[in-house]
Structure 1
Amino acid sequence: MSNTYVSEKRYIHRLLSKNSVSEEVLIVTSYDYFLQKYDLALLLKKYKEIILIPHSSDDDYLLNHTVRPMLDKFEKIHLVTNPQYDRRNRVIYELVVRKNKSIRINTVYDFCEKILKKVYIPDDVSEINPNLLSLPSFGKRVRYPKKIIDVCISIILFLCTFPLWILSYFRIKMQSPGPIFYYQERVGMNNEAFKCIKFRSMRLDAEQNGASFSKKNDSRTFSYGSFMRQTRIDELPQLINIFRRDLSLIGPRPERQVFTETFDETIPYYNMRHNIKPGITGYAQVMYSYGAGVFDARHKLMYDLYYIKNWSLYLELKIILLTAVVILRKRGR
């Protein structure tokens, strides 16, 4: 990503592109937490400059002493607004129009879905995303092709990876005596619990201090366990879950109830991800880097809900291809 990062006085953050051929400038007036490195890299190919205006307790100073002189430099502006900051948006719009400059406006809700290919999840549980007033479960038009893909690819994967099952059996036995498989209760479709099956990659005492998120380069794994996690070999037994109809090949990652209960309370629309079957892999898993906790769960939810809302055969196959790339590059968690 060829750009420079500049902090503008007290509030404004600017990203300057060196490669964009466009003269248009992007101004985001809503809180910018929904943007990650991948998004910024994409946007810097489309815009000459990106200006992020985060939350402020002093909008008058921000608009009059920072934004107003900045607008004099730009002729074409793409303004991304959030209805929460209606006054701020009106002031910027009036400043631009008064100077006879070109402007186009999108809400942050539409901008996320159309440009970034994810759904905007508010930071505050009191904020409503009008694009998420309803999110139906998959109908027959989606369920049937997904079921065909699930069964066909699962059978092929099982036959092709059977030698890895045998190898993993002996390597686990050698390095960490105990059960080969690890059964963990996860939350599935309609909030129903099921037993998720994996090759055991951690020591038997991994959770003696209680449930916790797994981590990148987790110290609780043994040598072959760490390799399995990097290459996703530990996920292979979840093919059994697909045959049991607990899981789909593609879908939101199933989480443990102890975590989903917390996320339901702190992340708007989180429970909507349970409208469909969870998956071994998913859009969030290939688009968002490893992370744990509420912040990362919110970011992953943006991709999960986009997948549910905008499902297509093309998107399904794209996720399968991207998953293969992740595995080959050993970018597993």
Structure 2
Amino acid sequence: MGNTYVTDRKYIHRLQSKNAVSEEVLIVTSYDYFLQKYDLAALLKKYREIILIPHSDNDDYLLNHTVRPLLDRFEKIHLVTNPQYDRRNRVIYELVVRKNKSIRITTVYDFCERDLKKVYIPDDVTEINPNLLTIPTFGRRVRYPKKIIDVTISIILFLLTFPIWILSYFRIKFESPGPVFYYQERVGMNNRNFNCIKFRSMRVDAEQNGASFSKKNDSRIFSYGSFMRLTRIDELPQIINIFRRDLSLIGPRPERPVFTETFDEIIPYYNMRHNIKPGITGYAQVMYSYGAGVYDARHKLMYDLYYIKNWTLALELKIILLTAVVIFGKKGR
């Protein structure tokens, strides 16, 4: 049988699976935004059931009348705790131990990194993730192999795609008179601004009313521009930025200053993504679907910080392969 979604009144959200490899139940004490469909689908292969406990103004009723009956059904429980809900954690722990059941406890910070391969970014700006008290910049051990990968792949990519550069030049000129290349100010490493070079995919007057996020089915994009975005052809001129040392092949996508200023104010730890060079593609780009705005920026940051904090050569190569899948699968973001 497949996965089923069940809602108990308005309080508890339960995800059930009969295909799980264990009889363990996963309980998350705060029904938080960090669990996406992709995450839940992966977790349901491991856990028999997932119980998500949302915010409630009546925790006593919630825990004693709604959660307690569910605990009777399981012998092995994995409790993912958020320190913001310390009382909830203690009540659930006491309910489990009192019934002499097996329980293991993981903080949401460790759970995200170990099980979901991303870093937990609090929704509340006052909440502190202890795993992010320090985050590294890339030392020589990382910079040198990245530089070799950047230069080698960029040269190969330029030579292989040179005919596409020529084709794109004439198609853009034919469909939308104006400059072929588009120069846009972006924020790079150490908050230094640079001009990001792309093939122009929008009309020349696309931002006459001010900067705004691009979106799916954007009316400002001409026909070949839409194709370029879908296949990432519009990103090819950023190879020049790599040679200029503005960009790396892999890293957090550079954002525009007007948006970065906003994100810095309302998204905890956002500025940490500027500890390293931004990239043409990145872990967030291949792991998170198309999106724009604060909500999506927060989710992408979870993956960007995981990449910075847990860089390995294997992760670098994985992102390159997943980028190729995105491009050839025409799943452009």
Question: Which stretch shows the higher mean deviation, 125-134 or 51-60?
Answer: 51-60
Q: Does 1:313 align with 2:308?
A: no
- Residue 238 of structure 2: aligned partner: 238
Structure 1 segment 207-226 matched on structure 2, within 5 A:
207-226=207-226
The RMSD of aligned alpha carbons is 0.9
Give the SS at the match of 1:185: strand
Q: Equivalent residue of 1:32, what SS?
A: coil
Q: How does 1:119-268 map to 2 (within 5 A)?
A: 119-268=119-268
Distance 1:45 1:257 in 2: 41
CA distance in structure 2 between the partners assigned to 1:57 and 1:121 by the alignment: 24
Equivalents in 2 of 1:31, 1:211: separation in Å? 34
SS at match of 2:27: strand
AA matched with 2:258 = V
CA distance in 2 between partners of 1:6 and 1:196 (Å): 47
Unaligned runs of 5+ in 1: none
CA distance in 2, matches of 1:84, 1:111: 15
Give the distance between the partners of 2:273 and 2:194, measured in 1 at CA: 16
Distance apart, 1:31 and its partner CA: 3.5
Runs of 4+ off more than 6 Å: none
Deviations 1:227-285 (A, max 9, x none): 00000000000000000000000000000010011100110000000000000000000
Find the aligned partners of 2:153 and 2:263 in 1 and give their Cα distance.
Answer: 32
Quick check: 1:26 aligned with 2:41? no
Structure 1 window deviating more from structure 2 (128-137 vs 51-60): it is 51-60
Q: In structure 2, the residue corresponding to 1:184 is in which secondary structure? A: strand
User: What per-residue deviation string (whole Å, max 9, x for no partner) do you get for residues 74-120 of structure 1?
Assistant: 11111000111111000000100110111111000000000000000
The one-letter amino acid of 1:321's match is L
Work out the CA distance in 2 between the residues paired with 1:123 and 1:304: 17
Please tell me whether residue 291 in structure 1 is matched to residue 291 in structure 2: yes
SS at match of 2:215: coil
CA distance in 2, matches of 1:314, 1:217: 35
Number of matched pairs: 333
Matches of 1:44 and 1:183 in 2, distance apart? 45
TM-score by length of 2: 0.99
Please tell me the residue identity of whatever aligns with 1:74: F
Match of 1:297, as an amino acid?
Answer: A
Aligned counterparts of 1:21 and 1:305: Cα–Cα separation in 2:
30
List per-residue Cα deviations over 1:196-227 (Å, max 9, x = no partner).
00000001111111110011221110000000
Aligned to 2:49: 49
Name the SS of the counterpart of 2:268 in structure 1. coil
Work out whether residues 9 and 66 of structure 1, in 8 Å CA contact, stay in contact via their aligned partners in 2: no
1:228 and 1:27 map into 2 onto residues whose CA distance is 44
Note the residue ranges of structure 2 that are not aligned, 5 or more in a row: none
Q: CA deviation at 1:50?
A: 0.5
TM-score computed with the length of structure 1 as normaliser? 0.99
Q: 2-side partners of 1:31 and 1:66: how far apart?
A: 15
Moved more, 317-326 or 49-58: 49-58
Percent of aligned pairs with the same amino acid = 87
- What's the secondary structure of 2:271's corresponding residue? helix
Distance 1:78 1:36 in 2: 19
Shift of 1:21: 2.8
Contact 1:30 1:108 in 2 (8 A): no
Structure-2 separation of matches of 1:146 and 1:239: 14
SS across alignment from 1:195: strand
